[in-house]
Amino acid sequence: MTPAESYFLPDGPLSRILPGYEHRPQQSEMARLVGVALDESGRLAVEAGTGVGKSLAYLVPAALWAKKHGKRVAVSTYTRLLQNQLISQDIPLVRKVLSDNRQSTLDTRHSPNVRAAVAFGQENYICKFRLNNQVARGLFDTVSEANAAGRLFQWADKTDTGIILDYPHALPPGLASRICRDSAACRREKCPFRKSCFYFKARDSWEHSSILIVNHSLLFAHLATEADLLPECDAVILDEAHRIEDAAVRHFGNQASEHALTLLLDRLASSKGGGLVAALGPRSTARRSIQTEASAARVELDQFFRAVEPLFSPDAQRSRFREPLESGPLAEALGRLAKALDEVVPELDDEALSSEMTGVARRLGRSALALEGFKVPEPDGAVHWAERSSAGAATRSSQGRLSLLAAPLDVAGLLRGTVYEHFSSTILTSATLTVAGSFSFLSNRLGLDDFKTASLDSPFDYEKQSLLYVSDHLPLPSQPADFNRGAAETITSIIEASKGRALVLFTSYDSMNAVYDLMPQTGYTHLLQGDKSTARLLDDFRDDTHSVLFATQSFWQGIDVPGEALSCLIICRLPFEVPDDPRLTAIADKLKAEGASPFREYQLPTAVLRFRQGFGRLIRTATDRGVVCVLDKRIIAGNYGSSFLKSLPKGVRLTTNLSDLTRFFKPAQ
């Protein structure tokens, strides 16, 4: 038995500190596998069904290994929700269990001292120097911006961490980027706030940690660039591993945004006469030369994105393009502006201003480089597309702000070369890594050829705790008008049977809004995604136990609503990706060219994984009971439906009879 496994024995250390502790063989097996992978410098992908308790199953062996060898383990997640859970619930438990076990015969070598920290990217921390400078000089375009910065200034005095996301109020657009830590603008040892700097205090805690909790994006950014964003880690555990591809695509891709560039130019020389140049004085030659170059850059910016607009067909939000774009004049204009700033900076006596201008110059340089990436035709193995955002539509054109994006089609090689090769051990885990029991899909997508794999069942009794209802009488979702009408009627009947307590999941805002508008009053509160923030919606859904929440996209994964409030999960249609997604189209083209079926090889397994994530929202604890209702009959009628059904937890019973729901929800006599 490995040291880590022994902690999970029926009468082991965890049983002594956790009231109602239940030994789960899957949990101790996972702890064993993780411990062995760390000891043997191995690579492991382990699927752990809901309820296995995977966080403790990797944290205990990671803490023991780090302590024994004086090493540091990075634990990387996709969501902040999981990071919060790890640092506020699981790590204190690991500290306690290791501390209590100090005197035991099981493991006397290890100190109880588990040092853990959460690392965020620099832009998440308030920079006191920049915030003070902004407030002291009143560098704001509007009164509401000045008031918001004033409130933030007071809050910065009270918070220990200075993490902007923890600030309880909304900030005006663009303000966060002006008061956050920016390596180019940071004064480091010369800064008057260096001793109490939030970012450097955080870095200090990272340096002293043996478990460092990060997110996938920050980890990839640290590994793929020369920038020293994190302290060195010896091993990595990537939780929520089913989202690694999403994070890698974003990180290894490229982006140029009209909105971001406009904000950057406004920061320097706003059209209202404000911005950093205002501090140079009205007669300054430097001010005139910067203003001239900034105006020229604005003209090029406008012309460039006007030329991008014809790429879109009417009403399209996204459009793939393969031809090169003439981004040279804009990139050159940004380069000239950056050069003008670089020339001014050494002449400045004002340190705050010089560090701000250095920061803007670096960002202009990075933007110019990003634009250069679109000067060439779309390369093999990547996709280029333009995207329209309705945010900010009023400021430029009725069509909205535009962005250019590039993304790799395959990240397996990048992950192998950049991430897995970097660490002595790499461990991937998630509740959903397999499709119909096989790892082959994610193994191909994530480059896991030399990984040992293991799949550990959920310890829950799905036969008793759950029921799968498939509505076999509705039209196919490909007939949206009829389907939506039928869906609204069926959801109404289901809600009557479940007495509310339902989460209704859609694959798009359009279908969610269409069905929501057709819903009659049900006697239960209806909540709609978009009406409030995600956090508020979830709080309301938990608090009003009989409410019904209509949601899409972000609610398919990562949310946790244990107990009665989520007793019924209604999946309106199988979650296939939207067919006009440019990356999906490009992957499909590539697979077709290779003689493979895009549907079988990519769309179907991707949808199955997402379906499993959605299904996993239902049963969160051993005492939860609930029904999953699927309104898309392709799950039983389609020739691929078995891929979805075979991927469900063992024991789930299937019915097409609505009255079985009433029986399931009937209180025991």
CB atoms within 10 A of CB 477: 20
Near ligand SF4 by CB under 6 A: residue from 199, 374, 420, 506: 199
Residues in the chain, overall count: 669
Single out the segment in contact with ligand SF4 by CB under 6 A; choices: 26-34, 121-129, 149-157, 588-596.
121-129
Among 73, 152, 186, 431, binds ligand SF4 (CB under 6 A): 186
Considering the complex, state which of residue 59 and residue 230 has its C-beta at the smaller distance from ligand SF4.
230
- Residues 583 to 622 in contact with ligand SF4, rule: CB under 6 A: none
Residue 669: Cβ within 10 Å count: 3
**Alpha helices, DSSP H only, in 142-230?**
143-158, 175-179, 198-207, 216-224
> Containing H/E element for 85?
helix 80-85
Scan residues 384-423 and list those touching ligand SF4 (CB under 6 A).
none
Cα–Cα dist 209/116, whole Å:
5
At its nearest, how many Å lie between ligand SF4 and the CB of residue 225?
19
CB of 181 to ligand SF4, least distance (A): 4
Q: Which is nearer to ligand SF4, 15 or 161 (CB)?
A: 161
Binding status of residue 67 toward ligand SF4 by CB under 6 A: no
Region of 187-195, 237-245, 263-271, 504-512 interacting with ligand SF4 (CB under 6 A)? 187-195
Where does this chain touch ligand SF4 (CB under 6 A) — which range of 31-39, 194-202, 443-451, 542-550? 194-202
In the bound complex, what is the minimum distance in angstroms from residue 144's beta carbon to ligand SF4?
A: 25
When asked if residue 194 is in the footprint of ligand SF4 (CB under 6 A), the reply is yes
Residue 127 interacts with ligand SF4 (CB under 6 A)? yes
502 - beta bridge partners?
A: 548, 568
Question: Tokens 């009417």 label which residue?
Answer: 314
Specify the residue, 199 or 483, whose C-beta has the smaller distance to ligand SF4. Answer: 199
Residue 98 · residue 112 · CB < 8 Å: yes
Burial profile 201-220: b = 16 or more Cβ within 10 angstroms, e = fewer: ebbeebeebbbbbbbbbbbb
CA 324, CA 472: separation in Å to the nearest integer? 49
Give residues with Cβ within 8 angstroms of 516, minimum separation 6: 526, 528, 550
Nearer CB in complex with ligand SF4: 188/532: 188
- The angle subtended at Cα 301 by Cα 300 and Cα 306, nearest 5°, is 95
Stretch that binds ligand SF4, among 181-189, 218-226, 260-268, 627-635 (CB under 6 A): 181-189
Considering only residues 54, 72, 115, 128, which one is a binding residue for ligand SF4 as defined by CB under 6 A? 128
Q: Which residue has the tokens 């019924």?
A: 568
Q: Using CB atoms within 10 A of its CB, is residue 571 exposed (0-12), middle (13-18) or buried (19+)?
A: buried
* 197 is a contact residue toward ligand SF4 (CB under 6 A): yes
For ligand SF4, the binding residue among 23, 69, 95, 187 (CB under 6 A) is 187
State the nearest-atom distance from the C-beta of 130 to ligand SF4, in Å. 6
Interface residue with ligand SF4, options 153, 167, 193, 252 (CB under 6 A): 193
Beta bridge partners of residue 406, listed in sequence order: 254, 384
Closest of 199, 206, 205, 202 to residue 128, by C-alpha: 199
191 binds ligand SF4, rule: CB under 6 A: yes
Which residues are 235's β-sheet partners? 73, 425
For residue 598, the minimal CB distance to ligand SF4 (Å) is 47
Asked if 129 touches ligand SF4 (CB under 6 A), the answer is: yes
Residue 480, class by beta-carbon neighbours within 10 Å (0-12 exposed, 13-18 middle, 19+ buried)?
Answer: middle
Please report whether residue 71 would count as binding ligand SF4 according to CB under 6 A. no
Q: How far is the CB of 180 from ligand SF4 (least distance, A)?
A: 9
Please state the closest distance from residue 324 (CB atom) to ligand SF4, in A.
39
Interface with ligand SF4 by CB under 6 A: which residues? 127-130, 181, 186-188, 191, 193-194, 197, 199-200
